[in-house]
Amino acid sequence: MSNKYVNLRKIVKYLHEEDIESHSNPEERLKKLYDTDNEHLLEILNAVHFYPELLKKDGEYNIQKEDGELIEWILKKYTSPDMKLIRKGEFAKADIGVVYKLLDGLNKILQHLEVDEETIMAQQQIMNQKTNYHITVRMWNMQYNFMRLMHDITYYMQMPTFNLTYDNKVEYLDRAMEITEEYVKTVRQAFTDIWKERARYVKQNAIPITLEEMQFSERSIDIINILYKNDEYVKIKERLKKLKGDKGFIKKYEKEKSRLESRLIEIFREEVKQFPIDVDKMTKIEKIMCLSDGAFQVHYDGTEKQAYVTFDVETTGWNKYYI
């Protein structure tokens, strides 16, 4: 192993150096601690759907030294309240700073791996699908900016070098409050505008579904999670996104798109065998739910006593594959 890399054994030995050296049988103690820490690391990686084999070479962990600190941090934090929530998949309940550090760190590790870009993008897509990473990043950035703003205001009020009088400070805080109130109104209005736009979209694109299809929507999420553990499936999804952005020669594009979509259906049929489901008896809506990456919303109109689904992805073109 190159000096540029460390394995998990070295990390575990470093973390528990005192414990290991004071034990009557250091090697036996190291092995036990290694097995425990390895289980803990795998549990965290699996929680965010990070494929652990990416960190290995010839079956052994092969981690760049600069990334070793993140692995140490994960192992140290394993029993913390926030990491317990992450282990259970309750990312929204965990401290946003902890979630951000974990996901940002894993994304940085991906950039250091000696693997092709397609594999990196596929792994990022899997993690994003599981953890809402992009939302976490934006929430963290907003929280950081708010904290920095309050720090600056407190600093302005306390530093004598600014030579502000009592009246100067009151005037500044009054202005800051006016700007803040206007900002709050703008932020709330932005949400209202987006929400109304979404409501119009739902109303225009909602598709009536049966109660059975409504109930199936929950099971479809389990199927989607299984599909996203299939590397080929994720890579095809990424390839389809690239094709859509660069259609080029239209006939060649349609042929390639058709071939990839056909393969997706084959993988879908193979993976669904893990469930007590007969694919041929599934409705068109149920199949599209499974292949839409969860980009749909189900809602029930109590007045009409009718369930609806709204898809946020293109669903045309799939019909011919449901044979």
- Token output for 231: 């590397």
Burial of 216 (0-12, 13-18, 19+ CB in 10 A): buried
Q: Stretch 173-177: mean pLDDT, rounded? A: 95
Q: What integer is the mean pLDDT of 229-251?
A: 74
Q: For residue 55, with 0-12 CB atoms within 10 Å meaning exposed, 13-18 middle and 19 or more buried, which class applies?
A: buried
For residue 230, what is the DSSP state?
-
CA separation for the pair 8, 38 (Å, rounded):
8
Residue 1: enclosing H or E segment and its boundaries? none
Using CA atoms, how far apart are residues 298 and 214, in angstroms rounded to an integer? 7
Where residue 209 falls (left for φ over 0; alpha for ψ -120 to 50; beta otherwise) is beta
pLDDT exceeds cutoff 50 at 179: yes
pLDDT at res. 191: 96
Average pLDDT, the chain: 87
* The pLDDT of residue 314: 56
- Tokens 């080929």 sit on residue: 232
d(CA 143, CA 134): 14
pLDDT at 321: 45
Cβ neighbours of 16 (radius 10 Å): 19
E-strand stretches of the chain: 5-6, 56-57, 60-61, 63-64, 207-209, 296-301, 306-311
Q: What is the pLDDT of residue 92?
A: 85
pLDDT given for residue 169 in this prediction: 93
Q: Pairing between strand 207-209 and 296-301?
A: unpaired
The pLDDT assigned to 320 comes to 45
* Residue 1 clears pLDDT 60, i.e. is over it: no
DSSP state of 192: H
Taking CA atoms, 12 is separated from 15, 38, 68, 74, 104, in Å, by: 5, 9, 11, 12, 22
- pLDDT attached to residue 296: 84
Model confidence at 317, in pLDDT bands (50, 70, 90)?
A: very low
Give the β-pairing of 5-6 and 63-64.
antiparallel
Instruction: Tell me the pLDDT band of 40, cut-offs 50, 70 and 90.
Output: very high
Integer Cα distance of 267 and 272 in angstroms? 9
CA distance 72 to 80: 14
Average pLDDT over residues 182-190: 96
**Given a cut of 90, is residue 243 above it in pLDDT?**
no
pLDDT for res 154:
92
Per the CB < 8 A criterion, the answer to whether 253 and 298 are in contact is no
Average pLDDT over residues 263-280: 90
DSSP 8-state assignment for residue 163:
-
Residue type, 25: N
Q: How many CB atoms lie within 10 A of CB 8?
A: 20
Would the pLDDT of 59 be above 90? no
- Is the pLDDT confidence value at 246 over 80? no
**Within 13 Å of residue 323, how many CA atoms lie on the same side as its CB?**
4
The pLDDT of residue 323 is 34
Residue with tokens 């299809």: 213
65-103 pLDDT per residue, tens = 899 999 999 999 999 999 999 999 899 889 988 999 999
Q: What are phi and psi of 18, to 5 degrees?
A: -65, -45
Angstrom distance (rounded) from CA 106 to CA 161: 43
Least confident of 112-121, 155-164, 171-180, 247-256: 247-256
Name the pLDDT band for 301 (thresholds 50, 70, 90). Answer: confident
Q: Return the pLDDT at 121.
A: 83
pLDDT band at 25 (very low <50, low <70, confident <90, very high): very high
CA torsion 148-98-48-73 (nearest 10°) is 130
What tokens appear for 106 in the block?
A: 């894993």
pTM: 0.63
What b/e string do you get for 221-243 counting C-beta neighbours within 10 Å, with b at 16 or more?
A: eebbebbbebeebbbbbbbeeeb
% of the chain surpassing 90 pLDDT: 44
Q: Is 303 helix (H, G, I), strand (E, B) or coil?
A: coil
Structure tokens at 243: 């094709």
